[in-house]
């Protein structure tokens, strides 16, 4: 079935978008939510399991206090109210990666609720309202065998590893995000980025979208412009990067508009986002609005955080993102625009870490927002997923500062980093990128150029210093860029004065 996509700009002429973002954060606690199994990434299958997380008959859950603490801190950082009394609930449904065929979660009594997060897009602030944040457990991991692509379609059977089952998750749900208009995709992306920054600052999760420690489901609906109503929404999963969040919103808006303007109606369903095409396809049909039969978990007792404990935890919160950004901007001496661009590119933390590794603020910003941002765009990944570390960027800049290489050569070093050729210093060595520092060789090259260009040399002798540029260009070309242009200029002027 071919779908008509209404061009994005046109969508806004007739429709108002409403978004809902559900983010799952995997906590970095040492043990699982309801048992003492370790949570380390990458262990051999089924080596981090026990009767409880395996759902063996007779096993029972016991709540990880550290996870509750993390949930409360996330709630406080999101300006939420913290429940005085709440319970866990069972969400009942069958799926082979679910050891008990119910998920122990929270239903109508989340631990945190009614909060907000302010996000900035192009200098404007949008307040995203948070409906709730609650605790739940992760499922096991299924590997599908027998299909062509390792995906679930066409698989003959699946292999389940329950190491991941029971790892603590905090689910954060926004209220419908309205009034964003054409900025909807960016607001969604900025929300997830800001939320990520906030949770990372709390130290409770690695929040790596590429590793699954932060997962985002995007809900979107369109309503006729100005109607104030809410349309039928679709949910899109498999959104594994900040870029994908933006693209998923953009695509769904176009797709919904295509259906609606043709007089059709939106099917309320779950869709799957495809990274390579930026489109969505119909996912597993939600088994006729599955009735989860929620009821309070009888094997666990209520969680009633004392107000003293909540205030104690409030005292452990780091500065909120907006305050942090203001402070950093002042420290770094960035203009408002420079700061906005840095944040907008998702490079704030990276720049911060690069500076911490020794680079000057402007240099750090320059590399991340030009070279690396371009590379990220070309390869279609988030800037944080490029595989280049702030440490490495600082090393490159240090090499430039030491005049071992210049800016142009630095770009080649980055190429080497993308290719995984080693550290910046190793790459300079291997590729022979070091700037020639031998005065004799430089002098000889300058002499050669002067001899070959008598007219230009005459002009320079006559005082037209700018003419040196042409000579510098030639010499740099001769030396394959491996010369310090500044020193070359000095030598030219010395010799022709």
| Residues between 279 and 298 that touch another protein (CB under 8 A) | 284-285, 291, 293-296, 298
Using CB atoms within 10 Å of the CB of residue 464, give its burial: 0 to 12 exposed, 13 to 18 middle, 19+ buried: exposed
Element (H, E) at 81: strand 81-82
The answer to the question of residue 346 lying near another protein (CB under 8 A) is no
For another protein, the binding residue among 9, 44, 122, 308 (CB under 8 A) is 44
Smallest distance, another protein to C-beta of residue 228, A: 29
Examine residue 42 and tell whether it contacts another protein (CB under 8 A). Answer: no
Instruction: Report in angstroms how near the CB of residue 91 gets to another protein at its nearest.
Output: 10
Which residue in the set 12, 25, 49, 445 belongs to the binding site for another protein (CB under 8 A)? 49
Q: Which stretch binds another protein (CB under 8 A): 42-50, 322-330, 331-339, 405-413?
A: 42-50
Asked if residues 73 and 316 have their Cβ atoms less than 8 Å apart, the reply is yes
Asked if 20 and 184 count as a contact pair (C-beta separation under 8 A), the reply is no
Binding piece for another protein, criterion CB under 8 A, among 41-49, 117-125, 194-202, 213-221: 41-49
CB of 204 to another protein, least distance (A): 11
Q: Is 133 in the site for another protein (CB under 8 A)?
A: no
Two tokens at 32? 């699982």
DSSP of 274-321:
ETTTTEEEE-S--TTS-----EE-TTSPPB---HHHHHHHHTTPPPPH
Which positions from 469 to 488 touch another protein by CB under 8 A, shown as an x/- string?
--------------------
Looking only at residues 304 through 323 of this chain, which bind another protein when binding is defined by CB under 8 A? 304-305
Q: Which stretch binds another protein (CB under 8 A): 65-73, 194-202, 452-460, 480-488?
A: 65-73
Q: Which of 243, 240, 216, 194 has its CA nearest to residue 378?
A: 243
Q: Which is nearer to another protein, 49 or 82 (CB)?
A: 49
Task: Residue 372: name the closest of 418, 427, 421, 428 by CA.
Answer: 418
Pick out residues in 72-91 that bind another protein (CB under 8 A).
85, 87, 90
Please tell me whether residue 465 binds another protein under the rule CB under 8 A: no
Under the binding rule (CB under 8 A), the answer on residue 176 touching another protein is: no
- Measured distance CA(144)–CA(152) in Å, rounded: 6
Q: CA-CA distance, 426 to 467, in Å (whole number)? A: 37
């Amino acid at each position: 079935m071919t779908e008509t996509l209404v061009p994005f700009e046109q969508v806004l002429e007739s429709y108002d978008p409403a978004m809902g973002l559900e983010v799952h954060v995997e906590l970095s606690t040492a043990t699982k939510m309801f048992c003492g199994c370790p949570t380390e990434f990458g262990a051999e299958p089924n080596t981090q399991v026990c009767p409880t997380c395996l759902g063996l008959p007779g096993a029972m859950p016991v709540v990880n206090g550290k996870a509750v603490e993390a949930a409360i801190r996330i709630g406080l950082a999101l300006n939420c109210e913290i429940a005085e009394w709440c319970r866990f609930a069972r969400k009942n449904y069958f799926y082979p990666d679910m050891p008990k065929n119910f998920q122990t979660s929270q239903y109508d009594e989340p631990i945190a609720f009614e909060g907000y997060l302010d996000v900035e897009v192009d200098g404007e602030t949008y307040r995203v309202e948070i409906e709730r944040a609650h605790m739940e457990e992760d499922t096991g991991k299924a590997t599908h065998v027998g299909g062509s692509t390792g995906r679930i379609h066409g698989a003959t059977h699946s292999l389940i590893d329950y190491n991941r089952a029971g790892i603590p998750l905090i689910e954060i749900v926004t209220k419908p995000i309205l009034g964003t208009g054409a900025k909807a995709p960016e607001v969604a992306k900025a929300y997830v980025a800001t939320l990520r920054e906030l949770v990372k600052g709390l130290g409770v999760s690695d929040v790596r979208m590429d590793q699954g420690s932060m997962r985002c489901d995007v809900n979107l609906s369109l309503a006729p412009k100005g109607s104030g109503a809410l349309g039928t929404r679709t949910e899109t999963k498999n959104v594994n990067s900040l870029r994908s969040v933006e693209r998923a919103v953009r695509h769904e808006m176009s797709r919904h508009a295509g259906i609606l303007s043709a007089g059709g109606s939106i099917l309320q369903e779950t869709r799957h986002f495809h990274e390579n095409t930026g489109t969505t396809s119909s996912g597993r049909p939600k088994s006729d609005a599955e009735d989860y039969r929620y009821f309070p978990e009888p094997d666990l007792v209520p969680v009633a955080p004392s107000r003293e404990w909540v205030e104690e935890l409030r005292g452990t919160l780091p500065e909120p993102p907006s305050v942090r950004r203001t402070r950093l901007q002042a420290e770094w001496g960035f203009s408002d625009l420079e700061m906005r661009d840095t944040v907008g590119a998702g490079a704030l933390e990276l720049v911060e870490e690069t500076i911490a590794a020794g680079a000057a603020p402007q240099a750090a910003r320059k590399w991340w927002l030009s070279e690396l941002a371009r590379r990220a765009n070309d390869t279609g990944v988030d800037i944080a997923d490029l595989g280049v570390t702030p440490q490495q960027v600082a090393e490159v800049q240090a090499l430039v500062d030491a005049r071992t290489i210049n800016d142009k050569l630095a770009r080649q070093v980055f190429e080497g980093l993308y290719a995984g050729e080693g550290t910046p210093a190793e790459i300079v060595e291997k590729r022979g990128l070091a700037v020639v520092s031998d005065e004799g060789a430089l002098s000889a090259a300058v002499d050669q150029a002067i001899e070959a260009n008598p007219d230009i040399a005459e002009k320079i002798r006559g005082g037209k210093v700018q003419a040196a540029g042409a000579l510098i260009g030639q010499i740099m070309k001769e030396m394959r860029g491996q010369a310090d242009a500044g020193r070359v200029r000095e030598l030219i002027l010395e010799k022709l004065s």
